Amino acid sequence: MPAADKLPPLRDVIAAHDLAPKKSLGQNFLFDLNLTAKIARAAGAAEGGTFYEVGPGPGGLTRALLGEGADKVIAVERDARCLPALEEIAAAYPGRLQIISDDALELDEAGILPRGSRIAANLPYNVGTAILIKWLTAESWPPVWASLTLMFQKEVAQRITARPGTEHYGRLSVLAQWRCTAKLLFDVNRGAFVPPPSVTSSIVRLEPRAQPLAPCALADLEKITAASFGQRRKMLRQSLKALGGEALAEKAGIDPTARPEDLTIEQFAALARAL
C-alpha cells in the first residue's frame, strides 16, 4: 500500500486549483497512488536522500517520493498555475519540499543539487528528450546526480536502452549508454494518465558510469553518430564519407562495410578517436 498523506485526492487538487491539463506543456497527470508509489520506489525513495523532480504538476509523484521516504524533494515546475497546489504539499511535509518556478531546460542542476541527488520525473513528452540530452552532455562527468528514473514515451525508452543490432539502436542509445547504464524497468498504460496520451509510456533508469564506456571526445562521438545514423542503412564507408570514409574506419580498426546499427559503443568511440 502506498504511504498515505493527509492531502486531498489529486482529482480534487486539480479541480480546486483549476488545473485543466495543457497539451502545450506536455501535461498528462498520474492520479493512481499505487503507480506513483511504484515509480518513487524504482527511483530509490525508500533509501532517503535528495531527489530532483522535473514537472511535478499537481504533485502526484512529489507526494509519492516524500511519502516513500525521500528526505528532500527539489521540484522545478514551469506552469505557475501548479504552484499553490505544490505549496500545500510543502506545508504538509515541512522543510522537505523546495519548489522552483522555472524552465528545467534553462537550469544548471550542478548549482542547485547536492552531489548524489537522484532525479525522478514523469517528463513532459515535448521536451523530455531535450532534457535527457542536456543531462547526458554535461561538461563535467560524473555528474552531480546519482541516478535518473524517468518516464518517456515507450518508443523513446526503447531508443535509450537499445542494444547494438536491434531496431531501436541509434544516436540516443550510443550517447546514453556511453556515459550511463540504462535499463527499461516497466511500461505504464496510457489509460493511467489524465488525459491519456496517444502512446504507451515506460520508466527508464539510468546510472552514470564513473568513466564513459570508452575514451573519446563527446563532440567527436556526436559527429560520428550523427553521420552514421543519418544514413543508417548505408555502409560506414559511405555514411562517413565526409569525415574520412574508408580510411577513417580502417584507422579505427573497423570494417568499412559494416552498418552503423551493428557497431558497439566502443567501436563508435574508436571512430571518434580516429577522427
- Contact footprint for ligand SAM (CB under 6 A): 25-30, 54-57, 60-61, 76-79, 82, 103-105, 122, 124, 127
Q: Which is nearer to ligand SAM, 24 or 210 (CB)?
A: 24
Q: Which is nearer to ligand SAM, 25 or 218 (CB)?
A: 25
Interatomic CA distance for residues 13 and 216, integer angstroms: 49
Written as nine digits, the cell of 130 is 531535450
Closest Cα partner for 6 from 94, 98, 80, 122? 94
Cα separations (Å) of 227 from 15, 172, 265, 271, 272?
49, 13, 15, 11, 11
CB of 79 to ligand SAM, least distance (A): 4
Interatomic CA distance for residues 168 and 34, integer angstroms: 30
CB of 24 to ligand SAM, least distance (A): 9
Q: Which is nearer to ligand SAM, 77 or 261 (CB)?
A: 77
Q: Which is nearer to ligand SAM, 26 or 67 (CB)?
A: 26
Is the distance from CB of 110 to CB of 134 less than 8 angstroms? no
CB of 22 to ligand SAM, least distance (A): 7
Amino acid making up residue 58: P
Written as nine digits, the cell of 93 is 511535509
CB of 211 to ligand SAM, least distance (A): 30
